Each structure stands twice: as structure tokens, then as C-alpha cells.
Amino acid sequence: MIASAVERPHKRFTDAADAHAVTTTGLTKQFRGGQVAVDHIDLAVPTGAVYGFLGPNGSGKTTTIRMLLGLTRPTAGTHRLLNGRMPEDAATLLPRVGALVEGPAFHPHLSGLDNLRRLDAVDRTADPTTARARIGAALDRVGLTPAGRKKYRAYSLGMRQRLGLAAALLRPRDLFVLDEPTNGLDPQGTREVRTLIAELSAAGTTVMLSTHLLAEVEQVCTHVGVMNSGRLVAQAPLAELRAGTATRVEVETDRPVDAIATMQRLELPDIVVQGHRVGAALGELPSDRVVAALVYDGVPVQGFRVVVPDLESVFVGLTGEGFDVSG
């Protein structure tokens, strides 16, 4: 099993030259036929961050990741990994990057252990004298030691994902790029991957996590980038993104017209009426002031609540589509 999470130290994101582990400028991918999958995006993944890369299916996340790793060439734009140019410096940069993209590819007739041995043997930057210890540690870290000698073709989808993570963990990395790493995992496996990501971050590794599960983002991410229809529609620290959406108040009353008048007197913006419910953006006004004003104006208050926007509301507002909040 993956070890317990350790407390992540507070990280300082500076303006130094190495402040970003991933940057892109105008990165674009247009396929034959004219479809633009990624449209002039400017990513900035801070060094040491856990960067949640989010978006509905087909929004361009995986295509972006493939360009970052040199698996497909961009149509336009430039990008850098770990303060080096891609693809010019790929030979020296990519050994410092661990990746899990579009599901791992392994030889079905080999065991999980032998697949990792083969991968490690073809890595010219890996130390062969430490291979046995590193492979064993990687299998143990993802909970696959008991199934290490089992043929890959007999692995479940979740076990294949775990083996892909083990391959990325065969040596220390400065950057991990993970595309839907919990795909196929049961709830326990999903929790273990979150723990692993937290441990990597605590050790100073930058993690770029492509996912559609908001639970993963809320529990492990420090920064977020949101893709929609090939465009980067938002990018910010997670707390800042949340803060950018207004808290609302909602009153239930059998005199909604009078409630509207009170909210207008208080200059509350974005008033919305749904039957006997009247809502408005709260702004800087304390919520108890709204209640006091309603009572003062003689508006009968049958229910009152403060609605703090959750992460799902933020993303639906940015993309017009829902996200999976499970996991």
C-alpha cells in the first residue's frame, strides 16, 4: 500500500527564472481538416505546485499534455519544461519528467515486474546497479508487490494504472505529468493516489494533474487551469479562483416583491427570483444586515441561507458544463 500522507510544507512561489516548471506561449494544435484542438494557450505551472488541469472531455487537455512531452508537435507556439526549451532540450529534460498519459502501454505477455525491468533497462540515464531496489520500491509504493509476477494481460484496469504510476516512479523526478491517474481505480486506490501526489509535492516535486474529478482537485491541488473548447479559460491559485465567485444570499418568503425591494434598497446586485425564493449576490455586506433589513421592512422570512460557491459552481460557470464531483 502507498504510505500515509505527510504534511506538505508551505511553498513560496517566486519570480525567479526557475519559478515555473511548465510554461507555454501561444501553444496551438490544429489537426488536418482544420479542427483546432488547442488554441493559443499560455500555461504557467509554478515550481512545487500541484496544478490541476481541468476541463470537459474533448477540451484539449490530453492534446496539450502530448505536446508538452514531445509526443506530438504543436502547430504554433513554444513551451518550456523545467526551465529548458522543448523539443531542443528534450534529451536532458525528459529523464527528469515522470508521465502517465492516455493509459500505460506494456507488453501483455510479461509480468508487471518484468515490464518495469524492461523499461528501466532501456533508460540510459538509470543506474543498473540500483535497478532491483528501485523497481521493488516503485511496485511497493503503488501497492502492486503481491501482483508483481502476474502477467500484465491478467491485470485489471486499475492495476494497469498502478503499474503506469510505478513506471513513472522508477527514479526521482522533478516534474510529474499525470493524465487521469485514478482512471479505473476503486475508492481506496483513488485515495492512495491522492496520498502519493501529496507526498511527491511535499518532497518538492511539481505535479501537473489532468483530471475531471473535483474531489482530487480540492484535496491535493494548489493551482488550477481550466480548459474549454481548446482554450485556457482560467488559471490561478485554487483559493483565488474560488474567491472570484460571489457569495449569495437567498430568502424564502411569501412576499417576494417586497423582498426584491429590500435587496434593491441594500444595492445587492444580480437579484434572481424563483417562485417564493429571492436571491442576490452578497458582496461585502454582512449577511445579518440583510436579515435585519428584511425584518425592518416587514418582509416575512420563512427561510434564509448564505450560499458559498463550491468548486463545481465555479467550473460550470467557466465552461457551461458539469464535472464529476465523485471519487
Domain-located, residue 311: yes
> Residue 321: what pLDDT?
61
> Residue 323: what pLDDT?
52
Sign of CA pseudo-dihedral 269, 231, 181, 45: negative
> Residue 215: what pLDDT?
75
Among the ranges given (4-8, 16-20, 176-180, 238-242), the one the predictor scored with the smallest mean pLDDT? 4-8
177 and 206 in a common domain: yes
- Displacement of CA 132 from its chain's centroid (Å): 32
Q: Who contacts 89 (Cβ-Cβ below 8 Å, separation ≥6)? A: none
Domain-located, residue 228: yes
CATH no. for residue 296? 3.30.70.100
Residue-wise pLDDT for 113-140, tens only, equals: 999 999 999 998 899 999 999 999 999 9
> Residue 319: what pLDDT?
72
Domain-located, residue 178: yes
Q: Taking residues 39-60, what's their average pLDDT?
A: 94
Query: The domain containing residue 160 runs over which residues?
Result: 20-236
CATH no. for residue 146? 3.40.50.300
34 and 156 in a common domain: yes
CA atoms in the 13 A half-sphere facing the CB of 80: 15
Domain-located, residue 326: no
Residue-wise pLDDT for 277-317, tens only, equals: 999 998 889 999 999 999 999 999 999 999 877 777 777 77
> Residue 261: what pLDDT?
96
Q: What percent of the chain has pLDDT over 70?
A: 91
262 and 221 in a common domain: no
Could you tell me if 36 and 28 are in contact, meaning their C-beta atoms sit under 8 angstroms apart?
yes
Is pLDDT above 70 for 327?
no
Residue-wise pLDDT for 257-275, tens only, equals: 999 999 999 999 989 999 9
165 and 125 in a common domain: yes
Residue-wise pLDDT for 206-242, tens only, equals: 999 998 777 778 889 999 999 999 999 999 998 888 7
Q: Who contacts 249 (Cβ-Cβ below 8 Å, separation ≥6)? A: 268, 279, 280, 282, 287, 290, 304, 305, 306, 307
CA 296/CA 160 separation, integer angstroms: 64
Using pLDDT thresholds of 50, 70 and 90, give the confidence band for residue 103: low
Q: Where are the alpha helices (DSSP H) in the chain?
A: 61-68, 90-93, 112-121, 131-141, 157-168, 187-202, 214-220, 238-243, 256-265, 287-296, 311-319
CA 160/CA 244 separation, integer angstroms: 39
